[in-house]
């Protein structure tokens, strides 16, 4: 997977990276059936839900997202309401393909560009593990490989976008 990425001349950030053994992560194990066995039934259900009046869907989604930050609820509801069954099928197919392809860490590729990379793993991340962080530190000692102790989730853009943006900003080389 990484062999296809073009790296910049500055720092490149891997925030909560899922770059190895994706299918064996906690989320990979629990979600794999949705990507394979239940892909068609789930897609069919989404298609059927398309016939429910919009005001009903909106009410259900607002309840579903009620524990989310209030300022995000409307955006999340609208995003979900704009998803169609074909998109869902394609998303699940892509996820299944990723599970099959994201297996071995491309150590040689990383070694070539490690000085340009910043890795940031999460302690709560179910797409990787603290063990993966420890293995990266062991493989690449002294490199910029970090563990988030603040408890941010893999989906940090939903609930921790500002502190993550600040982290990245503070890691960027300063231009005089």
Work out the percent of the chain whose per-residue pLDDT is above 70.
94
**pLDDT surpasses 80 at 166:** yes
Q: Average pLDDT, whole number, for the chain?
A: 89
How much is the pLDDT for 128? Answer: 86
Question: Of 5-14, 101-110, 152-161, which has the strongest mean pLDDT?
Answer: 101-110
Asked if the structure places residue 176 within a domain, the reply is no
Residue found under tokens 């563990």: 147
Shared-domain flag, residues 43 and 95 = yes
What integer is the mean pLDDT of 79-105?
A: 94
- Total structural domains within the chain: 2
**pLDDT surpasses 60 at 112:** yes
Torsion angle of alpha carbons 34, 105, 12, 144, nearest 10°? 120
Residue found under tokens 């990507």: 35
What integer is the mean pLDDT of 133-161?
A: 90
Asked if the structure places residue 167 within a domain, the reply is yes
How much is the pLDDT for 140? Answer: 97
CA 41 vs. chain centroid, Å, equals: 24
Asked if the structure places residue 148 within a domain, the reply is yes
Asked if the structure places residue 114 within a domain, the reply is yes
Looking at 84, 99, 114, the residue that finishes a domain is: 99
Shared-domain flag, residues 36 and 94 = yes
Looking at 99, 116, 134, the residue that finishes a domain is: 99
Q: Tell me: the pLDDT tens digits for 5-28?
A: 554 556 799 999 999 999 999 999
Work out the percent of the chain whose per-residue pLDDT is above 90.
68
Query: Could you tell me which of 122, 99, 108 has the C-alpha nearest to residue 20?
Result: 99
Shared-domain flag, residues 141 and 86 = no
User: Are the beta carbons of 81 and 59 closer than 8 angstroms?
Assistant: no
DSSP codes joined into one string, 12-66: EEEES---S-GGGSHHHHHHHHHHTTTHHHHHHHHHHHTTS-HHHHHHHHHHHTT
Shared-domain flag, residues 12 and 64 = no
User: Are the beta carbons of 139 and 107 closer than 8 angstroms?
Assistant: yes
Residue 154's domain spans which residues? Answer: 2-20+104-171
How much is the pLDDT for 158? Answer: 75
Shared-domain flag, residues 91 and 59 = yes
What integer is the mean pLDDT of 144-165?
A: 88
pLDDT-derived band at 152 (thresholds 50, 70, 90) equals confident
**pLDDT surpasses 60 at 125:** yes
Asked if the structure places residue 25 within a domain, the reply is no
User: Are the beta carbons of 116 and 11 closer than 8 angstroms?
Assistant: yes
What integer is the mean pLDDT of 125-142?
A: 92
Distances (CA, A) of 123 to 18, 25, 137, 138, 162: 13, 13, 15, 17, 19
Asked if the structure places residue 77 within a domain, the reply is yes
pLDDT-derived band at 33 (thresholds 50, 70, 90) equals very high
**pLDDT surpasses 60 at 59:** yes
Shared-domain flag, residues 34 and 89 = yes
Distances (CA, A) of 147 to 12, 116, 130, 150, 161: 16, 18, 8, 9, 17
């Amino acid at each position: 997977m990484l062999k296809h990425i073009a790296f910049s001349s500055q720092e490149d950030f891997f925030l909560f990276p899922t770059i190895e053994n994706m299918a064996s992560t906690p989320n990979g194990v629990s979600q794999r059936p949705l990507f394979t066995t239940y892909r068609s039934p789930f897609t069919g259900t989404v298609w059927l839900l398309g016939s429910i009046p919009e005001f009903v869907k909106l009410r259900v989604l607002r309840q579903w997202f009620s524990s989310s930050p209030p300022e995000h609820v409307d955006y999340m509801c609208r995003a979900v309401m704009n998803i169609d069954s074909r998109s869902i099928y394609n998303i699940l197919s892509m996820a299944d393909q990723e599970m099959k392809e994201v297996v071995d860490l491309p150590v040689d590729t990383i070694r070539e560009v490690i000085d340009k990379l910043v890795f940031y793993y999460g302690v709560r991340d179910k797409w990787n593990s603290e063990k993966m962080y420890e293995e990266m530190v062991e493989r690449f000692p002294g490199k910029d490989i970090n563990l988030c102790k603040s408890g941010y989730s893999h989906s940090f853009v939903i609930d921790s976008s500002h502190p993550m943006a600040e982290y990245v900003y503070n890691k960027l080389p300063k231009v005089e």
